[in-house]
A and B are shown apart, each in its own frame.
Chain A
Amino acid sequence: DAGITQSPRHKVTETGTPVTLRCHQTENHRYMYWYRQDPGHGLRLIHYSYGVKDTDKGEVSDGYSVSRSKTEDFLLTLESATSSQTSVYFCAISVTSGYEQYFGPGTRLTVT
């Protein structure tokens, strides 16, 4: 158990509304990641963080922003949700850069 929680676990929202997903870890790992999972695509990296206030873009970052003001929390924000952002979102941590990542339970987001 890597001590990762995500909230909310399920959310339904309307197109154009802002949405924030939260990832919380209890073990002070430096590296945190946000992925989205869509059928046929596996998981794709949205953004990642390598420390407090240090973040960078991943493969599918358009329409998403992130913030990390504390080691334990990594927030993913959809400023204006679109139907194409309907997906399952996973947070992950890694103990050391380059090593295996451990995933949270996921958040299912539906944008209507």
Chain B
Amino acid sequence: AQTVTQSQPEMSVQEAETVTLSCTYDTSESDYYLFWYKQPPSRQMILVIRQEAYKQQNATENRFSVNFQKAAKSFSLKISDSQLGDAAMYFCAYGNNAGNMLTFGGGTRLMVKP
């Protein structure tokens, strides 16, 4: 079974600064997908970014980018130019090769200071 670990329960960042959230996972599969989801106080789960394991190039979506290290089984999220609206819980998730489930980490609460 896969496991996903987010070792930072809480992080804080100054507005306009950059922050990196960490995620590690354990798997024996070679093909899989990785995701970051954002959950603001509204409780809605919002997809931030995805990465296919077979792609070496790190995914980027506007101010959000990942550092995917397959050999190290590491998948960190970098948020540049942090905004107050970025304050939320962030969940790292592993999508298995069969495509029938996501395994989530415990989450990191990001606070953004004005």
* B partners with A: yes
**Contact between A48 and B100 (Cβ–Cβ < 8 Å)?**
yes
**Contact between B91 and A45 (Cβ–Cβ < 8 Å)?**
no
Q: Which B residues are CB-close (under 8 A) to A44?
A: 104
Q: How many residues of B are in contact with the other chain, CB < 8 A?
A: 23
Instruction: From B47, B97, B101, give the contact of A58 (CB < 8 A).
Output: B101
A90-B45, A103-B44 given as contacts; is B99 within 8 A of A98 (CB)? yes
By size class, the interface of chain A is 20 to 34
Q: Which A residues are CB-close (under 8 A) to B97?
A: 98
Within 8 A of B (CB), among A97-112: 97-103, 105-106
CA distance A98 to B104 in the complex (A): 15
CA distance A76 to B33 in the complex (A): 26
**Contact between B47 and A100 (Cβ–Cβ < 8 Å)?**
yes
Within 8 A of B (CB), among A54-112: 56, 58-59, 88, 90, 92, 94, 96-103, 105-106
**Contact between A102 and B105 (Cβ–Cβ < 8 Å)?**
no
**Contact between A33 and B101 (Cβ–Cβ < 8 Å)?**
yes
CA distance A39 to B73 in the complex (A): 24
- A-B complex: 9 closest residue pairs judged by Cβ atoms: A98-B99, A42-B104, A97-B99, A103-B45, A45-B101, A43-B104, A106-B43, A100-B50, A42-B106
Which B residues contact A (CB, under 8 angstroms)?
Answer: 4, 33, 35, 37, 43-45, 47, 50, 91, 93, 95, 97-107
| 6 further A-B pairs in the complex, CB-CB below 8 A; given A33-B102, A43-B91, A98-B97 | A35-B102, A42-B93, A44-B104, A48-B101, A100-B47, A101-B47
